[in-house]
Amino acid sequence: MALLPLLITLLFIIFCASSPFVRAAQLISVLSYGAMPDGKTDSTKAFAAAWSQACASTQPATISVPKGSFSLGQVRFQGPCKNTAILLRIDGTLVAPSDYKVIGSAQNWLIFEHVSGVTLSGGTLDGQGSGLWSCKKNSGKDCPSGATSLEFSNSNNIAITGLASLNSQMFHIVINACHNVEVQGVKVSAAGDSPNTDGIHVQASTGVTILNSRIGTGDDCVSIGPGTSNLWIENVGCGPGHGISIGSLGKDSQEAGVQNVTVKTTTFTGTENGVRIKTWGRPSNGFARNILFQHSVMTNVQNPIVIDQNYCPGEKDCPGQVSGVKISDVTYQNIHGSSATELAVKFDCSKTNPCSGIKLEDVKLTYKNQPAEASCSNAGGVASGLVQPTSCL
């Protein structure tokens, strides 16, 4: 009788292997459409054709990108598709045009739109952005704004795993108007002085998780824009960069808010900021609420904890005004480490919409091995446990 369960299992396996109703994923190689792994031949059309086949398939599909270097212009991976299980498996490197002007005004290099059930696994994206950075830093004139290396827009049930993104022209990865996205094991790398090269930018999206990733870049490691809710960030290392930032918010007078954000088990090394909330100093109906920053280690960070509601770049369109964004219920828990400046905690909130429900719990930040300082303007809340610098709430 003991052999009966084993016999049933074997019969089931044989049935599945021979059944026309159980189908393996369709395997599509970009090489079959003429892609060349030589780093020189333009493989844009080959990638687009492989996507078209996968998207039109009524069964799960895997697009295979083998080892080697593939030169690509802009590729639009457009949906909706006939199946909701497409794996783009990258074992090689995708390389953007060396002349930044080719895609510099295109907004995106690689963009997925209106897709569902897409997984992007492995590989390296090389945005070759250093030429554009030099243009922006040297003259600033006649330079295109630059292309985001990878964007998912208006899409659901997305996974990005084990991807490396190097030297994007602008943002590395953008999640825009998406639901249920997991970013895991991603490595982002660009020079610390590279302009506008945010690591991962999330906006107008719900149910996004960012896990086990390392980000070093010239702007925010993670930036969180209007309309983001139910965002979970865990085990992320940041540096160089501008920290993990909610904002900037309140640029528009009518704007969706940000809520239910958890940022935990993070490290910040030599960054401009640690955990930051930033809003424009002008009228808006936006908000940021129910935010948790937990278990962060700061090493030589210029502004470890900061709320800045007087953001006004170039002092244009906002001098003399106050932020309409309402910030409430923000908790800082178990934040330890060293500040590169004497002022380690700064809450600079709106005069007309003061911050409320701010909580500091077990915070210890030092400056040159001495207790750092804290500053509060228009901020209300409580402190508990060991809090150093002494709370100004």
Q: Which residues are catalytic?
A: 242
Name the pairing type of β-strands 370-371 and 355-367.
antiparallel
3-state helix/strand/coil string of 97-121: CCCCCCCCCCCEEEEEECCECEEEE
CA dist 43 and 74 (Å) reads 10
Nearest alpha-carbon partner for 244 in 261, 260, 227, 230: 261
CA dist 241 and 273 (Å) reads 8
Contact 341, 302 (CB under 8 A): yes
| DSSP secondary structure string for all residues of 146-192 | --EEEEEES-EEEEEES-EEE--SS-SEEEES-EEEEEES-EEE--T
Residue 303 three-state SS: strand
CA dist 152 and 175 (Å) reads 5
Contact 346, 307 (CB under 8 A): yes
Nearest alpha-carbon partner for 124 in 196, 200, 44, 65: 65
CA dist 250 and 304 (Å) reads 22
CA dist 186 and 199 (Å) reads 10
CA dist 363 and 385 (Å) reads 8
CA dist 296 and 331 (Å) reads 12
Nearest alpha-carbon partner for 339 in 374, 379, 281, 299: 299
Phi, then psi, of 211 in degrees rounded to 5: -130, 145
CA dist 72 and 243 (Å) reads 31
Nearest alpha-carbon partner for 155 in 121, 179, 172, 171: 179
CA dist 109 and 102 (Å) reads 10
